[in-house]
Amino acid sequence: MKVMLVNGSPHSQGNTFLALDEMRKVFAENGVETELVQAGNQPIRGCAACRSCAKSGKCIFDDLVNKTASLFASCDAMVVGSPVYFASANATLIAYLDRLFFSTHFDKTMKVGASVVIARRGGLSATFDELNKYFTISNMPVASSLYWNSVHGREIGEVVQDVEGMQNMRRLARNMTFMMKSIQLGKEKYGLPEQEPPTFMNFIR
């Protein structure tokens, strides 16, 4: 089992990292490997809608997106963490996720997804919803916890004082571990769900 942890904060050792690291500890205790991708402080531009990835199998902009595509393909789960800016995720992280999900054409069915959001006060639910949409458009089941996957803190290190939030991170990691292992057993016995060829239509037709 392997989990891809994406830190969408520009602070590589900030509160978002601390929340993800709390999950990493639980994954390690359960024999689950993790790999951290630091995306939030990288020079990542948005998608140009050129669709060259449909021909080449990779994004035309050769940056962190292409460097981590193989990790995404091989992992069993992904956790995306972001600070909250104006009730939404870090723009650099969104650019990374837009291009990563759009340019990778492998089957993402049953990879477990989870988003983790950090804020001083508000905007958590909106950001949480924003990040989960990447999973729900990709046949990826979304892991949950006892409360929404959010932790409060402003200054670096303050999230540790949010005892309930950090407990929520540990519970989320345990739930994800259970889901990954259960899905693996299900694949071995039943295979993946049958997939119909996608049908696309325009609302104007």
What pLDDT score does 202 carry? 86
pTM: 0.95
Identify the architecture of domain 2-190 in CATH.
Answer: 3-Layer(aba) Sandwich (3.40)
What pLDDT score does 205 carry? 62
For the chain, list residues with pLDDT below 50.
Answer: none
Rounded to whole angstroms, the Cα distance separating 6 from 9 reads 9
What pLDDT score does 19 carry? 98
What pLDDT score does 203 carry? 80
Q: Which residues contact 139 (CB under 8 A, 6 or more apart)?
A: 107, 108, 109, 110
